[in-house]
Structure formats: C-alpha cells, structure tokens
Amino acid sequence: MAVGSDGRGLRVVGKPVRKVDGLSKCAGVTLFADDIVLPRMLFCKLHRAPVPHARIVRVDISKAARMPGVMAVLTGKDLPIPFGILPVSQDEHALCLDKVRFVGDPVAAVAAVDEDTAFDAMNAIEVEYEPLDAMMSIEEAIRKPSPRIHEYGDEGNIHKKIALEFGDVERGFHDADQVFEDTFYYEGSTHLPMEQHAAVAAVDPDGKLTVWSSTQTPHYVHRALAKVLNMPPARIRVIACPNGGGFGGKSDPFNHEIVVAKLSLLIGRPVKVTLTREEVFYCHRGRHPVLMQIKTGVTRDGAIKAMHFKSYLDGGGYGSYGVASTYYTGALQTVTYPVENYKFDGLRCFTNKPPCGPKRGHGTPQPRFALEVHLDKIAERLGIDPAALRLGHLVPPQSLTANYLRVGSMGLAKCIDAVVEGSGWKQKFRHLPSGKGIGLACSSYICGAGLPIYWNNMPHTGVQLKLDRGGGVAVFCGEIDIGQGSDTVLAQVVAEVLGIDPYDIRIVFGDTDLTPVDLGSYSSRVTLMMGNAAIQAAERARELLATAVSEKLGIPAERVGFGGGQVFDVEGPERALSFADAVVAAEARFGTIGTVGSYTPPPSAARYKGSGVGPSPAYSYSAAVVELDVDPRTGWVRVDRVHLAHDVGRCINPVLVVGQVEGSVYMGLGEALMEEQVFRANRGGVHRQPSLLEYKSPTTMEMPDVVTYIIEDPDPNGPFGAKEVGQGPLLPIAPAVVNAVYDAVGVRIDEVPVTPEKILKALDSPAKRFGPKGVPEVRWPDPIRVPTPWEGGTGRAAADRRPAEARR
Amino acid sequence: MMRLPRFRYHAPATLGEAAAILQGEGSQAMVVAGGTDLYPNMKRRHQTPKTLIGLRKIDALRGVKGSPARGLWIGPATILTDLEESALVREHYPGLYEAIHSISTPILRNMGTIGGNICLDTRCNYYNQNYEWRRAINFCMKCDGDTCWVAPGSDVCLAVSSSDTAPILCAFGARIQLVSKKGTRTIEAKDLYRRDGIDYLTKRSDEILAGITLPPAARWRSSYRKLRRREAFDFPVLGVAACVRFDGEIVAEARLWLGAVSMAPVEAAEAQAALVGRRLTEETIEEAARLAYPLAKPVDNTDFGLRWRKEMTRHFVREALLEVGPPGSPSGRGN
Amino acid sequence: MPQNVKRRRGRGRDSAAASHSSRSKVHLRLRVNGEEQEVACAPHSTLLEVLREDLRLTGTKHGCELGECGTCTVLLDGRPQLSCLLLTLECEGRPIVTVEGLAEGPRPHPLQIAFAELGAAQCGYCTPGILCAARSLLDARPSPTRQEIREALSGNLCRCTGYLKIFEAVELAARRMKDPAAQPSEETLHGRRL
C-alpha cells in the first residue's frame, strides 16, 4: 500500500479513534463471563488444599453429596487426564489426583442449586492428607532434591536447567578492559485483574458443549478441554468473553474451566463458577521471583565484550509457561546493546506455591531490571553518562544478535533522545539536591513469538471478512480484547484498507465455533499478527471490489481507490460508487463476498535447541526517565514524574498507545515499589496477602504524571509498520526507579520492590546497598555452544562441544 | 461471589427498642450501623450472628450538636462523610477531622460510621482472611482456633487496634455513652479499650454505643498522622494523635496517643509530661519523640516490617507535634 | 455416570434448600435508576447480588466483595457506595443509580462519552464503579481540580489505565458539560511531541 514512512496517506490508522467497544463498556452492557446467566444454571465451588505439599490419602465427599441442593461432587478421579499450556509440561490435573502442591490447589468440586449451598457443600468435603516436606524458596528447592514436587523435570526439584553460550565469553572477559559483577533479585508479583476469573459451561441436547470464560487464550482452552474431557474438539465450543483485565493471568487453561465443563456434561445443566479474589491469587501464573547474577566485560568506552547471565526462577507448583519463562530470562539481553559474546545459565525450580507464568513482559522484566541497573553502575565506574553510554552502543537496525535474534526497525536512539530532552536529564542527573533523584533505563520486547506453543505449521492467526450488501463488514477473528484495544486495532486496519468507517465494522471475536484461530492475547502478538492477517483479508476483498468497480466505471483496476466510504477513480474521484454499491457490484460479479487472511511469522535465523524463545517478527523499544523524591529519614519514595518514549513502529491508534504506556508504567511502578506475591514459609506455606487490601496495588493517590512520547520507526514486518506497546513500556520502570533512588540518596537497592525499609537498611549499611548476597551453588550442564554471526555461525550449535572443564 | 451467612434482621426505630432486642437475643445478636467492618467479617465467617440489629432508623444516634465552647456531641451512627463535612469538626477538632478523612476511601466513608470506627474489630493478617485460608493455618486464637500465630507462645491475642479515631478521641479526652436495657453509663474513651485482641472493648455485648462527647475545643490544637502503604484503602500501621493546650507559648497540657501499635491505643505519658511547661520547639519535640517511641511494640501482623514501623513512630510523633505547632503557627490546627 | 451425581426429577423431596431460601425471602420495593422495582430476596442478600442476579443489572461489577476495591460502586442517596457491603433491605425506598442509569434515554452521559473517547475504559471492568463515583463528584463540583478527582476516585482500583486517562476523561466531561464543543488536548490523544 502506498504509505509514506511518515504515515501520510493513512486515513484511519494513526488516528485517535474511539475504542469500538468503548461505549458498551461505559454503558455497562458488555457481558463479561460472570454476567452470563442461563436457565437452570447451577453454581460450582472448588474445595482447595489447606496444605502446601501432601499426598492425598482419602477424599470424603459423602456429606457434601448428601446435602440438599447439591447436584454433583467431583474429585480428581473423575478427570484423570493431565493438561498444561506447554506440551513439555502436561503436569496439571483439573482436580488433584494423588498429591497437592500448594495451598489452594483444588481437590474437589461441587455443583449446587445456589452459591450458598455450594459454599456449604465445599466446606463439608473432608480430605485426609499425608504431609510432605514443602519447598518454599529457590534455595530450598535446589538444596533439597526430595521429596520431588513432580516426578518429571531435569533433576530433583529443578524443573529445567539451561546453558547456552554464544561466542566465547572467557575470551570476551579477557579482551575487556574491566569486568563487573552484580547480583539482583526481583520479587514475584501477580496480575490482579479487577475481574475475578469466571466460566460458564452448558451442554446442548445433542451433547455439544459450550464454555464461556474470561480467558486470553480460547484456542488453548479448547485444546485442553478436548484432551481432558476426551471429547472431539468439534463438539466443544469455547467463547472468550471480554476479559476484565488479563495481563497474562488468564493465558493458561484453568482447573475451573475444565471442572464446570465436566459438571455440565454430567448433570446436563449449565454450571457457572466465579472465583473469589483469594482464588485468583491461587490461579496466579504471575511474575516469577528471579535471583540473577550478571557479569559483564566492557571496554573503556562501554562496549560489551562479554556477558554471562545467570537466572534462578521460583516456578511454583506447576510448569505453566515456566520453561518459556526461563528461556526468556536469558533471551532479550542482546537486542538493545550489542553483546559480542554471551552466555546464559538459567534454571527454574518447582516450589510449593501457586504456579508462576507469564505476567506482562513475561520473563523479561527481571533480567532487564538487572541489566539496566548493572549498566547504570558500569556507567558511573567508567565515568560516562548513562544515557550516553547506551546511545554509544546500540544494536543496529536490520541486524542479527549474538543469539540470532533478527532485529528489524530499532528506534531506541530516538526514544533515549526524547526522554533525555523531555526530562531535562542533562541539567538534572547528579545535579539535583539530596533526596531528589533521576534515573534512566531502556528496554525491548517481542511482538509475538516466532514459534507457536505447540508444534505445527499452520498460521498463528486468521481473519475472515464477510461483506454485506448494505456496506457493513463483519470481521471474524479468534482474538480477544482484554482491554488492550485489539478489537479497535482490527476495525481500524480493515477500515483503512477498505476505506470505510471503523464503526461500520462488526467484530466477531474469540469464538472457536465462529472465528478462525488466533492463538490468543499474549506475548504482544495480536497487533502485529492479527493486523497482518487483517490486511491480507481486506486486500483480497478490495481486489474483488476493485475488479467489479473498474468494470462498472470502465477504468483499469489499478486506478480504483478506496476511502471515505467511497470506491472511486483515483484520477477523477467524482467517478465513484459508495462502498455499499461497490459490494453490490462485486457480489453480482463474484457471488457472496467473503475473504480470508492469515499470518505466519517469518522463519527464525536461530536453529539451536532452545531457540524457540526470543525470535520475533519485530522488537519494540522503550526508554524511561523516572524523577522521584526519597526521604532519607523514612526511606519513603515518592515518584513525581515518569517520562516514557516508546518505539511502536507505527502507531495504529495514538490514544490507545498512550493508554498502554500509562498502564504499563502503572504496573511497573507497582512492582517497583510495593507489589509482592509472597508466602509464609513457617506457617504452612499460606499466601501472605491474598486480598485487594493487603496486596498493594497503587491507587489514584500514588500514580505520578506520565509524559509519553510516541516514537515511530516502522518495521517491515509490522502491519503498516506497527509493533507492540502493551508490555514493553513496563520493563524500564523498575530499573529507572532504582537508578533514580541511587541518584537521590546514593544507595543501591538491587532488588524490587524498593520499599522504604530496604532504603533505610541500605543507608545504614557500610556498602550502601540492599540486595541478595550471592547465588546458590549449582552444577550447570555443558552449554550448547553456538558460534555468533560474526564468527561465521549459521545459527546452529557447534558440533564439537568442548568439555566443561576445559572451558573454565 | 462471597456471600453473607444467613441471619434475622431487625431495624428498630428507637434506642430503647434496640437495647431491648439486644438484651433479649443475648450474645447471638450484634448491632450494625454502616456495616463496612462487620459485613466483610461476616462474609469471611469471623462473625455469624443469628440476629442483626440495624441502627440506621434510629435518628437519635445521628448528628453533631454543640459548639467549640461547650464541646460537641456526636451521634455514633453519623456517617463519616457527614463528619468530614461538618465545619465544627473540621475547624475546631482538626485532629479528628484528619483521622476521619484518612479512613479507607471516600466511598467507604459514605457508608461507615464513627461508632463503627470506634468499635472497629482488631485486625491481624492471620485473622482478616477468608474461612478457607484460616482453615489452612488451623485457625487462630481470635476466631475458631487456639494459637496466636503472630507469637505462638502468647496467651493473649495480639490483633491490632486499627481504628483511626480511637487514638485521637483518647487524646481529646472524649467520653463515650453506652446504653443497655439496664441503663446508661458514660466512660472515658480510653477506658473503652482493653489490651486484648479478642476482648478489645470494655463495652458489654448488651450495650450500644449511644454518644460521643468531645470536651470544649478552646485553646486545644490537634493533629493526627497516619502511616500506611497507600493513601487510600489502607488501615494505619501506625497512627499518632496529638492534642496540645497552650497557655500563651507554653504547653499547659499535652496528650499523645499511638494507634495501631498494640491491641489498644497507647498513651505516651512520659512524652506528654516532657512537653508540659515548655515551649514546643524542635528540641522539646525531639525529646517527646524519643520518649514516645519505645512504647510502640508492633508485631508482625500488619503491612511493613515491625522494626521499621517502630522506628517510624519516632518520626511520626515528631511530625504530629510539628503539625500541631506552637500557637500562631499556620492555622487549621484548632484554636 | 459416577455415583456421586444425583439425578434430579422435578421438584422432589430434596429441594429443601430452595424451599428454605424461599421461606426466608423478603419483599422489597427498590428505586433503581428512577424506576420502582419489586424484588423478593433473602434478607442476607447484598445490593450487589440483587442488582446483578435478580434485576439482571449486570453493569455493576465486583472485584473483591469485601469493600477493598470500589468495583461495585453505585449511587445510593446520590452518594457513591459499595453495593457489596449494602444490605438490600436497608436500601428500600432509597434512590439507587447504577451505570445503566447514567445515560439520559439514548444519550450517554458526557462522562461515558469522554471515558470511551480517551480510552479511560480499557478492559471496562472497573469503569461502571468509577463512572458512578465520578458522576457524584461532578454533581457536587462541576469543575473539579486534578487533586479533587484523584481523591474522589481514590476508592476505585483500576489495573489497566494507571488512572491518568480517567482523570483526563473526568476533566473533559466537566468541560463539555459547560461547553459541548470542548475537546481533549493534543497531548492527551497523541502523547507529547518534542
């Protein structure tokens, strides 16, 4: 399409179009999963384990089953087939079979005529446990290989161990002028969507099952239901309801979805489950707590000769996305500043806590925090301004990194320039009065994963269009709007190509019966992938219309233009048909007008084992400057202002981009300053604060001003050049806060959240630091050694692996 | 959805009627005004009264009467927002205004009452959890269990007095009127509280809080400082209430109370004494802060670490006294 | 079929739970969004439950049911209150306004338009409660300052927006209620340009 790199020529894309679902949400008519009420509907409650790690000796459901109004009671035996989001981690059961792995693991389920009865019945279930030793921390899980939480995994309670080396880090450290080493810890946190998960299941008289759910991934729920219920997928329909917030927390197939489906099949009536807030904390799949060690060799001017990054993830009780999360903690260090030689060792432990998984930024905020604080320290030691250090060493656009990630457009320089200029960085950095600080950090994030979660060679997304004689366009896509605005992006992209008003488009989304598969709203994949598929579908429709109109107007098809609801002769726009008439002409010429588009990411350059994580069609970039006050008497931090510049490639809708930036900054600040998903190891492993009062989500009173700068550096792989914005802007917040705290009071807080207590402790300490002391002893496997592109590598592992001893 | 347990409900129109029902029903009954404390507790099955007596219809329990010169009478069922909006409270009892304004959120203050805050159930993060969570720790001493999980050796429940109004009312020397079928008695606010997380009020279960009286405001200046993670929603992890009466520049009387550091509000008697007869200067304030903070004995059952909370006591006492300021300093501190 | 599943045929003996709750139901007249509504509900039901389950006004949402998030906010007696902590039988005869009652006929309230326009509703789940709180603020203060908006909405958690677009939408609605032609700023829509 003829669009300049400045976006000129676009009519809908780039405009602050009102969200197509905005008014419905503001009128309160949008139906979320818990808003669905069906005739004869029953209510389900889950009985959850009160112990963190135990064998189930006996489950007595007799009292519950006898209670009036109770229609059915299920236990693990009724759903014995395991499931899990990753094919390598099929380790969950809808209801625990023989073991429970965290406080809150569901053991039994009831369906009853009302919620009161279901509640009483749930509490009447009696379970006898044989307690097992519980692992409550990374250190403990590494130290104690038994009892094993799972019978699979690399060893003991280590779920996964990874060692990768690109180039030769020892040589790199040798060549470096200076080598720096730091240890960091990033506490776990949870998504805390305002909507508690809910699901409704109903069975048709002919045995077809429908499940409505607040899920970000209806396709994966569909697959899990088919597997666990042992039913043909064709008999199962999953409808994703608009999510009342997701942030990654609704990306796994969940116990409760499977349980209500099973109950509904057994009883023949609709069954609903709505989780309490406490149960949402048990679903979790949030940010992994990660302990990290980073060692970097640099030249005098700050070029990175070698980096060795180690990460230790606290995975919780199940696999979830954890294997991918672990790889992600080592993947994206290379896409911002060139790393000549890179080594990554990563492991994930099983612990007796709710499973961790993908939270906004999936596996990358933790290493990014470590890297950006580490760089801030290096800049100071080298006597280089931290902004200048970064600007001096940026990954070039259209290049390959040491670990074979293909960077396309790369607007980080413009991002840094924007926040440096906008914040008055040069006047402020190291010049503010004591107690006031300014800090900078950068980041990058993927725009969708290059490979699907389960191996297949089908598209990652599909879009279908149906054009109506009245000029309306129905767009079918399996995507689901979780608040990020994907419905609007879809409408804008189709409207742009067809030259119509986005409000003349009806979106049909997230329905496995009606819409083509989209893998789901995760990994910031939707705008890029769905957008490309939508362009393809719309261009195919446009071609049909152009042919019909060209015949009608007697002009060549290339001269047919689309815009403003008209289909016209570009050399004489007065010769035009309305879009509706153009559809009529096309339908007369070709029959019913329906087209499809789909998208598969380009093949990755990385071909080594483990290279499934990291490659993406494009990478977004962000730079943040945080300005804050620290009270040295109390340690209290007050963030005054955040400047954030984000390279979104092409802005499809600026007001939505700004909204994603502000929301990411908010969530980043929550993690940086107060949010913690933590447990009482000495009190039976219970969650420390499973409520909205105790889990500290910042209120209006804590939110600082955010100045957003939208940077557009179109990427050839993005729809109209667009890249992601939903997750990337969260990443630089925590390190920028920590760097600003150092600027304000001269202490290094090498872990988040940065609480006033930690600041006071650091101020009182001789090292002026608060953070982890070191990392546990671990025997890492021999790394998979991959020669870098500049060593003439091909993206594959070297055939001859040198023994580990020789490499030390 | 978390639902309330079943109960019978009465909505008497007079205090006498309410007292009679309460007497008749015995310990199975509870009174409720705003419900912002009781209903969450009931949803979590901390309390499952067979009978609830709603006080909303009793006009005699609402309103603010009096004057700064004579003192105020406040009806316990008065909605917190209404008190915030009362010029009498705001201008003449600024410490009380600040305490009320700091409670939870504006929305909750549209429902909660001052009587509810005065009688606020003590809080502990081993107690304020759902039934299922508490079952996982085999319950605690305060409800359904035997052990105090904060300090398993303790024979007394250590749940924290988390009322914002309690310390400031103690500091003002407020008096509390209690009515039962047997009659009426009036006690000092400070005598309403007991250092026992379970039996934290001296009010008998058949008594209804019927009135709060504040002494004349003349020459008293007051302030309330609150420590918490977020500026909304959160209960105090420390509250410092200061009331100072001046004779010219000289402190004639000083009252300093700490909230949320124990099972009841704590009077900082030595710090008070150290201020009397002296000017309120940086020096005297520092001394008072030094004397007050050892009294704070936080335990690990609220937000934040206990050592830091204790340390903050010193800082917050200083802040509260600085805010009171000597007479003639920026106004809004009272008379 | 497992043994633990009971077949139910009609209203048999084992429907004791249903008859128990029907036995205890109370009849109430509620004034919701300007309409008189008659409901029969259990005495222990909250306004939130009755609005959503009996009146099917599912626009009112819930996030914790304990008064810790503000999601279920409605207007009662013109003031924002938490429907999860209100006993329905205490609301009899008092004016109740939910998100469904903010519009005037087919015309959305200026707040609803401004929220939609500025992306102040992302997932839209906290939005009904926030709109009710904001409506009450604008009723009392037609031109609120940013600080007044912050405070008035401090009882409503939102996880999506970082609140800033919400503040701007309240400000835009306030301006539009005086000047229908009022427009959002360039920076609100496009971010800052250097």
CB contact under 8 A, B234 and A693: yes
Give the pLDDT of residue A719: 98
Count of A–B CB contacts within 8 Å?
A: 74
**Quick one: C79 and C133 in the same domain?**
no
**Quick one: B21 and B82 in the same domain?**
no
Kindly state the tokens that stand for A410: 């790369």
Contact residues, chain A, for C80 at CB < 8 Å: none
**Quick one: B180 and B311 in the same domain?**
yes
Say if B281 is an interface residue toward chain C (CB within 8 Å): no
For residue A72, give the nearest of C4, C164, C192 by CB distance.
Answer: C4
Contact A312, A291 (CB under 8 A): yes
CA gap A357, A434 in Å, rounded = 39
**Model confidence at B335: pLDDT above 80:** no
**Quick one: B89 and B42 in the same domain?**
no
Q: If you average pLDDT over residues A676-693, what whole number do you get?
A: 97
CA gap A210, A202 in Å, rounded = 5
Q: List the CATH number of the domain containing B175.
A: 3.30.390.50
**Quick one: C65 and C120 in the same domain?**
no
- DSSP readout, A566-627? EEEETTEEEEEEEHHHHHHHHHHHHSS-EEEEEE-PPPPS--STTTTSS--S-EEEEEEEEE
Residue of A638, A678, A683, A697 to mutate, testing the B interface (most B Cβ within 10 Å of its Cβ): A683
Residue partners of A779: CB distance under 8 A and separation at least 6: none
- Amino acid A366 reads Q
**Quick one: C157 and C88 in the same domain?**
no
φ, ψ at A377 (rounded to 5°)? -70, -40
**Quick one: B4 and B79 in the same domain?**
no
In a domain, C17, yes or no: no
What average pLDDT does the structure give for chain A?
97
Sign of CA dihedral A692, A694, A698, A700: positive
**Quick one: C93 and C29 in the same domain?**
yes
In a domain, B128, yes or no: no
Say if C37 is an interface residue toward chain A (CB within 8 Å): no
Q: How far is CA B79 from CA B56, B95, B118, B207, in A?
A: 10, 18, 13, 20
* Per-residue pLDDT tens digits for A237-276: 999 999 999 999 999 999 999 999 999 999 999 999 999 9
CB contact under 8 A, B232 and C73: no
Which residue range is the domain that position B297 belongs to?
64-118+160-324
Q: How far is A268 from chain C, CA to nearest CA, in Å?
A: 10
**Model confidence at A1: pLDDT above 90:** no
**Quick one: C39 and C94 in the same domain?**
yes
**Quick one: B164 and B94 in the same domain?**
yes
Report ipTM (2 d.p.): 0.97
In a domain, C8, yes or no: no
For residue C155, give the nearest of B3, B56, B105 by CB distance.
Answer: B105
In a domain, B179, yes or no: yes
**Model confidence at B328: pLDDT above 80:** no
In a domain, B125, yes or no: no
Say if C42 is an interface residue toward chain B (CB within 8 Å): yes
Chain B residues whose C-beta is within 8 A of a chain A C-beta are 1-3, 6, 125-126, 128-133, 135-137, 149, 229-235, 303-305, 307-308, 311-312, 315
Q: How far is A670 from chain B, CA to nearest CA, in Å?
A: 11
Contact A619, A405 (CB under 8 A): yes
CA gap B162, B128 in Å, rounded = 12
**Quick one: B227 and B293 in the same domain?**
yes
In a domain, B138, yes or no: no
In terms of residues, how long is chain C?
194
C-alpha radius of gyration, chain C, whole number: 20
**Model confidence at B327: pLDDT above 90:** no
In a domain, C122, yes or no: yes
Characterize the bridge pairing of strands B238-247 and B220-227: antiparallel
Q: What DSSP state is assigned to residue A740? A: H
In a domain, B16, yes or no: yes
Percent of chain B's residues with pLDDT above 90: 94
- Amino acid C6 reads K
**Quick one: C154 and C128 in the same domain?**
yes
**In a 10 Å sphere around its CB, with 0-12 CB exposed, 13-18 middle and 19+ buried, how is residue A161 labelled?**
middle
* Per-residue pLDDT tens digits for A734-777: 999 999 999 999 999 999 999 999 999 999 999 999 999 999 99
Percent of chain A's residues with pLDDT above 90: 98
Contact A549, A587 (CB under 8 A): no
Say if A705 is an interface residue toward chain C (CB within 8 Å): yes
Confidence of residue A802 (pLDDT cuts 50, 70, 90): low
Q: Where are the alpha helices (DSSP H) in A392-525?
A: 412-423, 425-428, 486-498
Give the pLDDT of residue B218: 85
Percent of chain A's residues with pLDDT above 70: 98
CB contact under 8 A, A192 and C159: yes
CA gap A299, A516 in Å, rounded = 51
Q: How far is B233 from chain C, CA to nearest CA, in Å?
A: 7
Of A47, A164, A27, A169, the residue nearest A105 (C-alpha): A47
* Degrees, nearest 5: CA angle B143-C72-C116: 150
Q: Where are the alpha helices (DSSP H) in A403-521?
A: 412-423, 425-428, 486-498
Say if A702 is an interface residue toward chain B (CB within 8 Å): yes
**Quick one: C78 and C124 in the same domain?**
no
The total of other beta-carbon atoms located within 10 Å of residue A137's CB is: 17
**In a 10 Å sphere around its CB, with 0-12 CB exposed, 13-18 middle and 19+ buried, how is residue A769 labelled?**
middle
* Per-residue pLDDT tens digits for A363-381: 999 999 999 999 999 999 9
Report the run of H or E that residue A213 belongs to, with start and end.
strand A209-213
For residue C44, give the nearest of B5, B11, B81 by CB distance.
Answer: B5
Kindly state the tokens that stand for A554: 């007697």
Say if A757 is an interface residue toward chain B (CB within 8 Å): yes
Q: Where are the alpha helices (DSSP H) in chain C?
A: 16-23, 47-49, 110-117, 127-140, 146-152, 164-178, 186-190
Q: List the CATH number of the domain containing C55.
A: 3.10.20.30
CB contact under 8 A, B132 and A116: no
**Final residue in a domain of this structure, among B31, B54, B77:** B54
* Per-residue pLDDT tens digits for A304-337: 999 999 999 999 999 999 999 999 999 999 999 9
Q: Where are the alpha helices (DSSP H) in A98-146?
A: 115-124, 138-143
**Quick one: C115 and C180 in the same domain?**
yes
C-alpha radius of gyration, chain B, whole number: 20
Q: How far is A290 from chain B, CA to nearest CA, in Å?
A: 22
CB contact under 8 A, B1 and C62: yes
Contact residues, chain A, for C52 at CB < 8 Å: 35
In a domain, B242, yes or no: yes
Contact A47, A125 (CB under 8 A): yes
**Three-class secondary structure of residue A178 per DSSP:** strand
**Quick one: B206 and B308 in the same domain?**
yes
* Per-residue pLDDT tens digits for A559-589: 999 999 999 999 999 999 999 999 999 999 9
Say if A690 is an interface residue toward chain B (CB within 8 Å): yes
**Quick one: B70 and B174 in the same domain?**
yes
**Final residue in a domain of this structure, among C77, C101, C125:** C101
Which residue range is the domain that position C164 belongs to?
110-187
In a domain, C33, yes or no: yes
Q: How many domains does chain B have?
A: 2
In Å, how far from its chain's centre is CA A252?
11
CB contact under 8 A, A684 and B133: no
**Quick one: B1 and B107 in the same domain?**
no
Q: If you average pLDDT over residues B74-79, what whole number do you get?
A: 98
Contact A727, A665 (CB under 8 A): no
Q: What is the pLDDT along chain C (194 residues), one digit of tens a residue?
A: 344 444 433 333 333 322 223 347 999 999 999 999 999 999 999 999 999 999 999 999 999 999 999 999 999 999 999 999 999 999 999 999 999 999 999 999 999 999 999 999 999 999 999 999 999 999 999 999 999 999 999 999 999 999 999 999 999 999 999 999 999 999 999 999 98
Which chain C residues in 110-139 lie under 8 Å from chain B, judged by CB atoms? 133
Q: What DSSP state is assigned to residue C125? A: S
Domains and CATH numbers, chain A: 37-132+191-283 (3.90.1170.50), 162-189+285-385+404-450+607-770 (3.30.365.10), 458-599 (3.30.365.10)
Chain B residue closest to C74 (CA)?
B107
- Amino acid A269 reads R
Confidence of residue B219 (pLDDT cuts 50, 70, 90): confident
**Quick one: C49 and C96 in the same domain?**
yes
Contact residues, chain C, for A691 at CB < 8 Å: 64, 66, 68
- Amino acid A710 reads I
Q: If you average pLDDT over residues B135-142, what whole number do you get?
A: 96
**Quick one: B36 and B185 in the same domain?**
no
**Quick one: C114 and C182 in the same domain?**
yes
* Per-residue pLDDT tens digits for B141-168: 999 999 999 999 999 999 999 999 999 9
Q: What DSSP state is assigned to residue B1? A: -
In terms of residues, how long is chain B?
335
Give the pLDDT of residue C6: 45
